[in-house]
Structure 1
Amino acid sequence: MDEPEYTLHFGVYGVVIEQGHILCIHKNSGPYKNRYDLPGGSQEPGEGLTETLVREVYEETGQKVKKYSHPRIYDTFIKPHTKSVTTHHVFALYTVSLHEEVSDLPLYVADGLNDSDGVTWVKISELNELNASPLILKVLDEQSNKETTIDKSRYEHWTVIYKKLNNNQNQRR
């Protein structure tokens, strides 16, 4: 029997929660395309975790990180139903606060085209497996104080969404 094929992806992400809403990016590529996701991404050579956090949050939100705290690490296994490869996504999360001033998002970033089409505040109660990335689902587990939050999550038949999400939540709370 053939062994399943795996790839490994590591990223660093910021979590901003205010008044029952979470700051999300509109993902425009990859397995989380057209889902709400957290701002963040992959490290560049020589970058530390917090350097990656600050750079990626700025690239994807246009806002500078004012403060970061509460580091934690989780992992999930994602297998799109149309692919034979499972991605093991390991991610470090930091709780962040942002400066109010907003810059335009760059089209190109350190690792190519920007995979963020901008940000939106979404009510935590409106996020679910049909519209959010596994990173946000893990934050929802944290918010619910689930005992299994620290355990891996697994999505065996992940669906990539090719139609854009409804962007009614674009305004800040």
Structure 2
Amino acid sequence: MVKHTHLGVYGVLIQHDHILLIQKARGPHKGKWDLPGGSIEFGEEPEHTLQREFIEETGLSPIKGSIRTAISYTIVYQYEANQIEELHHIGIMYDVELLNDKAVIKTDGDGQDSLGAKWIPLESLGLLPLTPFVEMMMEPVLKGETSKEAEVEG
């Protein structure tokens, strides 16, 4: 089995009780809803990765990000017809603020990793197939906790 570590930067953007997610076009989570973000290119600052990935996957700019946490998980999946891969996925998570309230999201995908971006009502998150990063970052919402309860526990 091939083992692979992936480091990425991802953003949590919530407005008006909706979260901005992208639908994965490939990889172990194909078809699931994920946070906008992706791989840090060689020599790239994480903040620049966040800005670049948001433009590529959602079309939104400018944004402001502040680091919330770093999390990870492992998953075993079929990479190719005859190859099983174990992925250790590490994510640097940012809280994101949209600086242009007139910006329109890109719903047609980026031709690579995203099938398109969509504003998802927080109340319907539990009905969708989600990636582990969305599940981890939105755990209080998925458990039905209110914002006040989540803030008290956090």
Within 5 Å, which residues of 2 pair with 1:1-173?
5-80=2-77, 84-98=84-98, 99=100, 100-102=102-104, 113-128=111-126, 131-141=129-139, 143=141, 145=150
Query: Percent of counterpart pairs with the same letter?
Result: 35
Distance 2:120 2:109 in 1: 24
2:138 is paired with a residue whose SS is: helix
Distance 1:105 1:124 in 2: 19
Any conservation in 1 of the 2:57–2:116 contact (CA below 8 Å)? yes
Letter of the aligned partner of 2:96 in structure 1? V
TM-score (norm 2): 0.76
**CA deviation after TM superposition for structure 1 residue 89, in Å:** 0.2
Letter of the aligned partner of 2:113 in structure 1? D
Runs of 5+ consecutive residues of structure 2 not aligned to the other structure: none
**CA deviation after TM superposition for structure 1 residue 67, in Å:** 1.4
Runs of 5+ consecutive residues of structure 1 not aligned to the other structure: 150-173
TM-score (norm 1): 0.69
Which 4+ residue blocks in structure 1 deviate beyond 4 angstroms? 103-108, 142-145
Structure having the higher helix fraction is 2
1:47 is paired with a residue whose SS is: coil
Paired residues, number: 139
Any conservation in 2 of the 1:59–1:105 contact (CA below 8 Å)? no
Q: Who is 1:167 aligned against?
A: none
